[in-house]
Amino acid sequence: MSDTSILTLTNVESRIAGALKLAGISIEVKKGELVSILGANGAGKTSLLGIIAGLYKPSAGTVRLEGMSITGLPPYRIARKGIGFAPQNHPIFNSLSVAETLELGRPNTQIDVESLFPNIAAKRHMRAASLSGGERQMLSMAIALQNDPKICIFDEPSSGLAPKIVSQVFEAIKRMVEAGITVLMVEQNARAALRFADRAYVMEHGKIIASGLAGDLANDDQIRRAYLGM
């Protein structure tokens, strides 16, 4: 981990039909970090990632990648700038094999993507349509790693997965970070997210209500009651 900021959001706001959905969101992700954004359904987490990825334009505020503004750029330009994005329910080309899907982008030079996801590597010659839900999620994450992104953004990577597969997904994310890949992750599984993350932000009703080191948040009584069931 370094002190170099890869991604910085400053006072980001979003309004839909005049209603304020995100208010004053400021987030920083440093090179080599794994940062989690936690919160219940409807907290605004996915909307925030959509702004970073260029799916939505903010009403106010700035999004910067390595100090350069990417605010409001279209998704293809943001991807070219160096953001790999794996949304929930990522569309997969069902007619292509796993190997063909991964060949659509340039191979990642920092890490062997297939070694991260042995489940899909073992099925590289099978059609993507044959993959299970967990395997499709892993393929989505592998796609986000193509083209050597400066940061990978994952939206609910463990959503709907069996506990065994959840562990495999988080172990893969851990290996990414160990290889020097920066990760920003939205996750409802607060217990797992705080176990693996360096830092975390907690969102509620479109605002950041808490932030800090993951270990500190995991030991915060209010966070434990609200998100860890303790």
What was the pLDDT predicted at 1?
Answer: 59
**Would you state the pLDDT for residue 228?**
64
**What was the pLDDT predicted at 82?**
94
Instruction: Check: CB of residue 49 under 8 Å from CB of residue 199.
Output: no
| C-beta neighbour count of 38 within 10 angstroms | 28
For the chain, what are the domain ranges? 5-227
According to the model, what pLDDT value does residue 216 have? 93
pLDDT of residue 109: 67
DSSP H or E stretch at residue 201: strand 199-204
pLDDT at 73: 95
SS3 123: coil
The pLDDT averaged over each successive group of 10 residues in the chain (230 residues) is: 87 89 96 94 91 94 97 94 87 80 74 80 85 83 87 90 84 89 91 92 93 92 73
CATH class for the region spanning 5-227: alpha beta
* pTM for the full predicted model: 0.89
